Chains A and B, each alone.
Chain A
């Protein structure tokens, strides 16, 4: 029944996602579909801890034939199916570790499979792309139904009806209103995913799976787990946290009243002193998670809601910190 399995008889799946996009529940649904409709052995879990949206998580699903027990409890190293829940993750994390030419890769993106191949820098694979952000904005649902629809098309053994059945089991009773929208999302994911075996590109190579490691070990970890470089989280890139929408700044309308700076949870409004006056210069999108609280509070509509894909966010970014603000504590 399973199209391909590894030496332990397992068909292995890895989701690369961000907290809040529904990967964990999607993993459970995929596993349940395998058990309920195909009587497969299944397991699913996520590598996350504290309950935060906006931070990277990995979800793993394993399938095996009914007579093959699933014993492994460690993360999936060589996925048969890799699902990337948000295109922005590709540049932020080494998402393709352990993939090979047989891996099916599904990506939430407007881009084509071959464009994604160039972003992923992999020699070949079966790549499926689906604009889950666009569909989710239209259908007002989370990504998981759409991506499960796309997954169903790509792997074959789980059918859209199976996914729908599980949605009905889980949300049908409690939220019947959103069930119909999710059914449409599953169908659209199934129908709209573009799946292609991309042409081999010799300039790229597969990267083997590597266990998470850190250059800071017991020889150079400062005692007690101290962090002596204040504010060093400024170097993190959180742009993958956004769900497709951004605040767009129009300096012409702005009065620099400072209200956006009050409500912004991500502290990314850039005010600079010019001729003794504080002036709002723009947004550092490296940190903006796209909550749009600033758009709500702005009294003069200098901040408005925009679809990220329609803007060149990089060129709109005003940097909050420059090299002169930084310091390395050499203690």
Chain B
């Protein structure tokens, strides 16, 4: 008999999290990426409220997250992860490791397009990339299925005849963010009973049975390991059917490997995947009233490929219109239709298949478009139509140009009148006057879409005041990038390059070295001076730390500038390693069972100090003269000696839950309470450039915390321990800096 259920209005992500909470996974290793991030957020929120005890590990990137999950799964417990798009691709080399060493876990892939031009919306270019990794893949088409499949998934993956990792995939935004009426199990215990206990055959922490996991294996053994997996994939079809049947008894909801609607007698069938299916069903209801025999077929499982069931459901159709939400650039179609064609060929079928690549990058499918696609199918019965094409592209008007821009900045317009001179091994900077500096044309242009009171452009623009001459910027993915370059617009008046935030420092290294090589070869003028600046958020300084340190070690002539707003704000305020202890974020909630972030903030300038680059600094808009002076020094060092790293503290009123107008005051308070000391490390010598005590501006640590909603709870007496720990650590770090500042040898 079906277990007791209640109705809710929830989105796919909320339901994936609810299922995970009810199952109470041992470990979740994750790294935030839109649109999958909310799974970790909701799971953390439920944890803070005491609803689960999942050990949530915020990784340093998706590659790290996959590593955490792999390690945790070898240790024999239940493991969860969630990702999307480039995150999935960043993790992809770990996927075959996990599947071919046969450790089950559950990965939610909330489908999103893989950049090219950065697109955060839905298509299937990510999920189709992992078809060849040996993971099981089940695909949910609506929030109800997301919930159900998340309960079904571990039972399939952990089945004694399977023992494979599994992906639950669903459409980004359409399914992940749409809130629908769903039915969920009232009692967590019922869910736990259904999934049952997991007893791993082999674990990495069983000291009585030592074993070697991941041996070095070439021919002739390797192919046999893979053949085992291929056979298990076959077997998995039966197991999935079995678990689907069991789930039907448990929930009252029936699932099949392949599903259909009105396909039995249809002349034209659309073969599709994901959230579009429901829209197509609505179109079918309309067309059936007109007497048109149309139907739709969609798989719930794409690995293993249920080829018999696919063939059985489509075989009677005269024409199948296969809709691919990604392309394989093979002039045949994306993976969905290419595999359909292979299935039909294997079965000796002669149905006509028309492929249309549609809905890339989040382009919606409307009811009238579904009808148009059916019409295309009818046309194809008797006429010749293109077998493979795109649907929904725009030709464009050749006369239409990009929105008009501004004239490029000349050398003169970028002058700042600041003088920089090396005197006795130390740089001296003269002639900084804020009023005069307003004459310098801005390299960033208004019209960007940053939030009200966002500190990013205040800080960056102030820094830019200190640079004279030509500048090329590279932005990591993040708020600053997203809000300043929404196509076909840009808020950059100078040349700007984006790369994903694992890799900006390496990318800019390449640009700088090409510029220098071309100068050496005389291909560009030798007297052309360009200053290269990489801009990252604190998120890019987490996931991109490896290439940042690598760039610093190679000492390229460039500036790495971090705007630190203490969290992954672009994806919705998840904790970063720079988030201070106890601060509330969407992955470090405050509740009965948890009080904000569990570990101290990362000291990035001191990590960079270990690379011994010529210049390191911290600064903020609250101390503009100080920051501009450091910028001028940064430019000199970058152009003459090598890599510079700087950190700018940057207000995020939205996620700090503070008044937008108070941004400057809050970042000033962060310095005046010693949390964010202003200092520089010039050729190894540390100097505090501002001492709150000497300036008679010292404030209490608590005074800073009360200015933000995200930290107010730390004033509460019940959180005294966290407050004291945070205080102790910042005072320790500050004293250390001060002593270093007083002793040039340190």
Q: How far is the CB of B494 from chain A (nearest CB, A)?
A: 7
B489: which of A7, A227, A289 is its contact (CB, 8 Å)? A227
Q: Please determine whether B278 and A233 come into contact, CB atoms closer than 8 angstroms.
A: no
Q: How far is the CB of A42 from chain B (nearest CB, A)?
A: 5
A18 to B661, CA, bound (A): 19
Q: How far is the CB of B482 from chain A (nearest CB, A)?
A: 5
A262 at the A/B interface (Cβ < 8 Å)? yes
Query: Of B176-184, B326-334, B697-705, which stretch is located at the interface?
Result: B176-184
A214 to B488, CA, bound (A): 10
Name B661's closest neighbour in chain A (CB-CB). A292
A206 at the A/B interface (Cβ < 8 Å)? no
The prevalent SS among residues of B at the interface is loop
A73 to B279, CA, bound (A): 6
Residues A73 and B402 in contact in the complex (CB < 8 Å), given A28-B9, A52-B451:
no
Q: How far is the CB of A50 from chain B (nearest CB, A)?
A: 5
The residues of A that contact B569 with a CB separation of less than 8 Å are 51
A134 at the A/B interface (Cβ < 8 Å)? no
Residues A20 and B451 in contact in the complex (CB < 8 Å), given A233-B445, A267-B442:
yes
A30 to B439, CA, bound (A): 51
Q: How far is the CB of B738 from chain A (nearest CB, A)?
A: 27
Q: Please determine whether A35 and B661 come into contact, CB atoms closer than 8 angstroms.
A: no
Q: Render A291-313 as a binary contact track against B, CB cut-off 8 A, 1 for contact.
A: 11101110000000000000000
Q: Please determine whether A291 and B660 come into contact, CB atoms closer than 8 angstroms.
A: yes
Q: Please determine whether A230 and B492 come into contact, CB atoms closer than 8 angstroms.
A: yes
The residues of B that contact A269 with a CB separation of less than 8 Å are 438
Q: How far is the CB of A301 from chain B (nearest CB, A)?
A: 14
A329 to B402, CA, bound (A): 9
A230: which of B120, B177, B452, B493 is its contact (CB, 8 Å)? B493
Q: Please determine whether A20 and B654 come into contact, CB atoms closer than 8 angstroms.
A: yes
Q: Please determine whether B451 and A258 come into contact, CB atoms closer than 8 angstroms.
A: no
A80 to B394, CA, bound (A): 30
A213 at the A/B interface (Cβ < 8 Å)? yes
Q: Render A222-251 as a binary contact track against B, CB cut-off 8 A, 1 for contact.
A: 101101111111111010011100000000
Q: How far is the CB of A17 from chain B (nearest CB, A)?
A: 14
Q: Please determine whether B402 and A230 come into contact, CB atoms closer than 8 angstroms.
A: no
Q: How far is the CB of B358 from chain A (nearest CB, A)?
A: 12
A256 at the A/B interface (Cβ < 8 Å)? yes
Q: Please determine whether A328 and B456 come into contact, CB atoms closer than 8 angstroms.
A: no
Residues A49 and B121 in contact in the complex (CB < 8 Å), given A230-B406, A234-B445, A293-B453:
yes
B313 at the A/B interface (Cβ < 8 Å)? no
A49: which of B173, B180, B395, B445 is its contact (CB, 8 Å)? B173
A72 at the A/B interface (Cβ < 8 Å)? yes
Q: Please determine whether B434 and A287 come into contact, CB atoms closer than 8 angstroms.
A: no
A41: which of B181, B395, B448, B479 is its contact (CB, 8 Å)? B181
Query: Which chain A residues numbered 59 to 83 have a C-beta less than 8 Å away from chain B?
Result: 70-75, 77
Q: How far is the CB of B665 from chain A (nearest CB, A)?
A: 7
Q: Please determine whether A75 and B364 come into contact, CB atoms closer than 8 angstroms.
A: yes
Q: How large is the interface on B (under 10, 10 to 19, 20 to 34, 35 or more residues)?
A: 35 or more
The residues of A that contact B364 with a CB separation of less than 8 Å are 73-75, 211
A294 to B663, CA, bound (A): 10
A328: which of B404, B446, B483 is its contact (CB, 8 Å)? B404
B458 at the A/B interface (Cβ < 8 Å)? yes
B224 at the A/B interface (Cβ < 8 Å)? no
Q: Render B151-174 as a binary contact track against A, CB cut-off 8 A, 1 for contact.
A: 000000000000000000000011
The residues of A that contact B9 with a CB separation of less than 8 Å are 28, 31-32, 35, 42, 44
The residues of A that contact B278 with a CB separation of less than 8 Å are 71-73
Name B397's closest neighbour in chain A (CB-CB). A215
B276 at the A/B interface (Cβ < 8 Å)? yes
B458: which of A42, A262, A320 is its contact (CB, 8 Å)? A262
Q: Please determine whether B405 and A229 come into contact, CB atoms closer than 8 angstroms.
A: yes
Name B282's closest neighbour in chain A (CB-CB). A71
Q: Please determine whether B447 and A291 come into contact, CB atoms closer than 8 angstroms.
A: no
The residues of B that contact A218 with a CB separation of less than 8 Å are 393-396
The residues of B that contact A296 with a CB separation of less than 8 Å are 661-662, 664-665
Name B444's closest neighbour in chain A (CB-CB). A267
A74 to B403, CA, bound (A): 29
B696 at the A/B interface (Cβ < 8 Å)? no
A236 to B484, CA, bound (A): 12
Q: Please determine whether A227 and B490 come into contact, CB atoms closer than 8 angstroms.
A: yes
A73: which of B174, B179, B406 is its contact (CB, 8 Å)? B174
B685 at the A/B interface (Cβ < 8 Å)? no
Q: Please determine whether A50 and B570 come into contact, CB atoms closer than 8 angstroms.
A: yes
A263 to B456, CA, bound (A): 10
Q: Please determine whether A49 and B434 come into contact, CB atoms closer than 8 angstroms.
A: no
B214 at the A/B interface (Cβ < 8 Å)? no
Q: How far is the CB of A90 from chain B (nearest CB, A)?
A: 19
The residues of B that contact A290 with a CB separation of less than 8 Å are 452
A8 at the A/B interface (Cβ < 8 Å)? yes
Q: How far is the CB of B147 from chain A (nearest CB, A)?
A: 15
A224 to B275, CA, bound (A): 29
A215: which of B366, B396, B479 is its contact (CB, 8 Å)? B396
B99 at the A/B interface (Cβ < 8 Å)? no
Q: Please determine whether B403 and A28 come into contact, CB atoms closer than 8 angstroms.
A: no
Q: Please determine whether A267 and B395 come into contact, CB atoms closer than 8 angstroms.
A: no
The residues of B that contact A213 with a CB separation of less than 8 Å are 394
Name B483's closest neighbour in chain A (CB-CB). A52
Q: Please determine whether A220 and B396 come into contact, CB atoms closer than 8 angstroms.
A: yes
Q: Render B395-415 as a binary contact track against A, CB cut-off 8 A, 1 for contact.
A: 111101111111110000000
Q: Render A23-52 as a binary contact track against B, CB cut-off 8 A, 1 for contact.
A: 000011001100100000111111001111
A326 to B493, CA, bound (A): 11
Q: Render A257-291 as a binary contact track against B, CB cut-off 8 A, 1 for contact.
A: 11101111111110101000110100010110111
The residues of B that contact A267 with a CB separation of less than 8 Å are 442, 444-446, 457, 461
Q: How far is the CB of B68 from chain A (nearest CB, A)?
A: 25
The residues of A that contact B394 with a CB separation of less than 8 Å are 213-214, 216-218
The residues of B that contact A93 with a CB separation of less than 8 Å are none
Q: Please determine whether B396 and A214 come into contact, CB atoms closer than 8 angstroms.
A: yes
Q: How far is the CB of A120 from chain B (nearest CB, A)?
A: 24
A20 to B450, CA, bound (A): 12
Q: Render B266-282 as a binary contact track against A, CB cut-off 8 A, 1 for contact.
A: 00000000011011011
Q: Render B658-673 as a binary contact track against A, CB cut-off 8 A, 1 for contact.
A: 0011111100000000
Q: Please determine whether A216 and B396 come into contact, CB atoms closer than 8 angstroms.
A: yes
The residues of A that contact B362 with a CB separation of less than 8 Å are 49
B446: which of A75, A229, A243, A287 is its contact (CB, 8 Å)? A287
Q: How far is the CB of A251 from chain B (nearest CB, A)?
A: 15
The residues of A that contact B488 with a CB separation of less than 8 Å are 214, 216, 227, 232
The residues of B that contact A243 with a CB separation of less than 8 Å are 452
Q: Render A108-149 as a binary contact track against B, CB cut-off 8 A, 1 for contact.
A: 000000000000000000000000000000000000000000
Chain B CB count within 10 A is highest, among A41, A224, A234, for: A234
B128 at the A/B interface (Cβ < 8 Å)? no
B538 at the A/B interface (Cβ < 8 Å)? no
Residues A291 and B663 in contact in the complex (CB < 8 Å), given A43-B178, A225-B487, A232-B402:
yes
Q: How far is the CB of A118 from chain B (nearest CB, A)?
A: 28
Q: Please determine whether B179 and A53 come into contact, CB atoms closer than 8 angstroms.
A: no
Name B392's closest neighbour in chain A (CB-CB). A211
Name 30 interchain pairs, CB-CB below 8 A, sorted by A. A20-B654, A32-B9, A50-B479, A50-B571, A52-B449, A52-B483, A54-B451, A70-B181, A72-B282, A73-B275, A73-B279, A74-B365, A77-B366, A213-B394, A221-B396, A229-B405, A233-B446, A233-B447, A234-B445, A262-B624, A265-B457, A267-B446, A289-B452, A291-B661, A293-B453, A293-B664, A296-B665, A325-B407, A326-B406, A328-B404
Beyond contacts A211-B364, A233-B446, A292-B660: 6 other A-B pairs, Cβ-Cβ < 8 A, are A45-B178, A55-B483, A73-B178, A229-B490, A230-B494, A256-B438
B interface with A by C-beta (< 8 Å): 7, 9, 11, 34, 116-117, 120-121, 173-175, 177-181, 275-276, 278-279, 281-282, 286, 362, 364-367, 393-398, 400-408, 434-439, 442, 444-458, 461-462, 479, 482-485, 487-495, 569-573, 621, 624, 653-654, 660-665
Which 4 interchain pairs have the tightest Cβ spacing? A217-B396, A229-B405, A233-B447, A217-B394
